[in-house]
A = this chain, B = another copy of it.
């Protein structure tokens, strides 16, 4: 297959780990006979420095004509004093919006050699393998009015959803569950919120179109508990924007592998933006010691969710797992009896596996 991939390395360690992803993708391309064409563009602080804006028109145009986008990381203390619209993070929010990416996919998976770093007991967290799907463009973070009232003595924010916004994310969740263990947990607060009651109705309607997927409903407060007490209960979790923000961050610390977690923001036609959950880590940028595995696993997610290349994605995931099992790791991780290596070396070990 021919695929146009935009690379947005961004700031801090973004450049180094992007090189790792590119190398791994090139190896996959030649092995499976694909043709991946890479186009690199600026975003975030890097774009501010060179073009005076965190999201140049040129970058937007390129992304709008691409099959998928890989992003390293944005931000850093260097740009902290700039006004709101000139912050590196605006580049990321802006490109997600321009591309209409409404579904945030956050897989949380434990790696056996790293479970010792989990705050949870090993018998609780082992075998956890969760995909959290969060609606990204609606709900309380975007609804209007959002304003002071009564001479500044009161305030409102508005949780608004159109039915179509709920339907498309719920469809995405059922489809994602089909690619996995076919267990879907829909999280809401239907005992209190009208929006949650509508959400639950749509989940129940849609479930008729996916009879092979088992659905359960869970209240958001109960979900926050169960993620800790029985994380291996879950397969796919789907929820609205605010609940998803809280639960996906809560889940990200369960396995002790925050620095390894990939993420995706996608839309219905498969176009998506893929990035590691970790930040730009300016303190270790340029030292060649950044952990490239979150970025490499983000590239694997791209193959699976944007290109439908499940076999290729699995090969990368298995190579990452094997490398860790062999004890190789960057300095941010610890593996008992393991061997500490740099970004490039770890990437080559993954490629060899």
Contacts and interface: CB of A to CB of B under 8 A. Distances in A.
A147 interface: yes
Contact of A162 (B143, B154, B163): B154
Contact of A120 (B121, B222, B246): B121
Nearest to A139: B157
A254 to B, nearest CB: 7
A159 B158 contact: yes
Interface string A117-136: 01111001000000000000
A325 interface: no
A216 to B, nearest CB: 18
Contact of A160 (B154, B160, B192, B248): B154
Contact of A245 (B118, B124, B221): B221
Nearest to A164: B153
Q: What is the oligomeric copy number?
A: 2
Interface residues of A, number: 49
A194 B148 contact: yes
B157 A198 contact: no
A350 B272 CA distance: 60
Contacts of A60: none
Contact of A155 (B157, B160, B220): B160
Contacts of A333: none
A249 B222 contact: yes
29 contacts: A119-B120, A119-B229, A120-B121, A120-B228, A140-B140, A146-B193, A147-B194, A148-B198, A153-B162, A153-B163, A154-B161, A155-B163, A155-B195, A156-B159, A156-B160, A157-B159, A157-B193, A157-B195, A189-B242, A220-B246, A221-B245, A221-B246, A221-B248, A221-B249, A224-B249, A224-B250, A225-B252, A228-B254, A246-B246
